[in-house]
Chains A and B, each alone.
Chain A
Amino acid sequence: MGELTATHFLLLSAALFITGMMGVLTRRNVLVIFMSVELMVNAVNVSFVGFAWEQNSMIGQTFALFVIGIAAAEAVLGLGIVMALSRRADTVDVAEVTELRD
């Protein structure tokens, strides 16, 4: 526990990822689910950068940058879907949206 190692960062990443995962699994508000997904993406970024730091490499940071770019596109599309959903089904409750099931 004396020196700062990549293990610290990996444990932080795991904790954040599982927090986000539990949000995705338990919440019903689609916007909170979306924010939990963002949390998971960030946890993965911490992993990437932590490994890159440990290995004296820059590839992890490059990948984290790509992840951020993709997450931006995902945010745009996800929030567009939320808007279309609330306009069409008048709800943000994922348990009420059963259009594809019926």
Chain B
Amino acid sequence: MTPEVLVFDILAVIAIIAGIGVVVSRNPVHSAVALVVTFVNLAGIFVMLRAEFLAAVQIIVYTGAILVLVLFVIMLVDMDDLPEFHGGAPLQRLSAIVIGLILLGEVAAAVVTRTVVGQPGPWNEETIAAAGGNVQVLGQFLYSGYVLPIQAVAIVLLVGTIGALVMARPDEITTRTRGRTTGTISLGHSRGADLVALPSGAPTARVIHREDMRDGLVMVTSADAYTEQAAWAGTDVPSEPGAAEYPTGAGIGSEENR
């Protein structure tokens, strides 16, 4: 066994064990840490495969950016103990393991019995070193033959950024006018809060906090169309007696009247 194979075996075994740890661990934070171990080991594998730049990118992008993002989301999301480990669906788990092993056997058979077709490219150690190194050769490839895909990836990243902004927009937009908190609106209201435009006699909307969102969200599209209708349909929204219609809803706006 050459030292190369030994190093590969160590990296691969640790990567696979950590990968299994990602899947089976009960706590998502433990999953994330196991995923870090997998990614670092795969970076080592990339170094063995003469892909030094990719190893660096793997560390920076995956363990540096994506995993930190995952940990932030784990921190922000309120996570209950899901019932998946409390004895639920053992048959499903068993069949998943069986199917996984069968698939692994199939792929392994295909890999072991394959034959190499096509002629090898020119990039062995000597030619890469003569061209300046891995990064130089990769840069030549990316910015000569793959310019259009680079632009496409740039657009995808831009759209992803904008999409994340749209999705992570807060539910509650509150404006403060004349020393009084006047309005909130969310979920499907394109312009945000425009309760400032309400006439003086009209009831002001109440400020709706996160925890009583399910009680019914006040929707105001304009000062003339003030309803107590929930922003979503289908869920059971308890109606408030006497506060149903505009403009008789005197005191809809007060928090303590609910």
Contact = CB atoms under 8 A, between A and B. Distances in A.
Interface of A: 1-4, 7-12, 14-23, 25-29, 31-32, 34-36, 38-39, 42, 45-46, 49-50, 52-59, 61-62, 64-66, 68-77, 79-84, 86-87, 90-93, 102
Contacts of A62: 138, 141-142, 146
Contacts of A83: 73, 76-77, 167-168
Interface string B221-233: 0000000000000
- Size class of the B contact interface (CB-based, 8 Å): 35 or more
Contacts of A20: 19, 22-23
A98 B5 CA distance: 48
What is the predominant secondary structure among interface residues of chain B facing chain A?
Answer: helix
A42 B42 contact: yes
A57 B121 contact: yes
Contact of A32 (B23, B48, B153): B23
Contacts of B138: 58, 61-62, 65
Contact of A14 (B107, B159, B161, B234): B107
A10 B65 CA distance: 26
B244 to A, nearest CB: 25
The 3 residue pairs across chains A and B that have the minimum distance between CB atoms: A73-B160, A57-B121, A23-B23
Given A4-B5, A68-B61, 4 more contacts: A14-B107, A19-B100, A72-B66, A86-B76
Given A45-B42, A70-B153, A31 B28 contact: yes
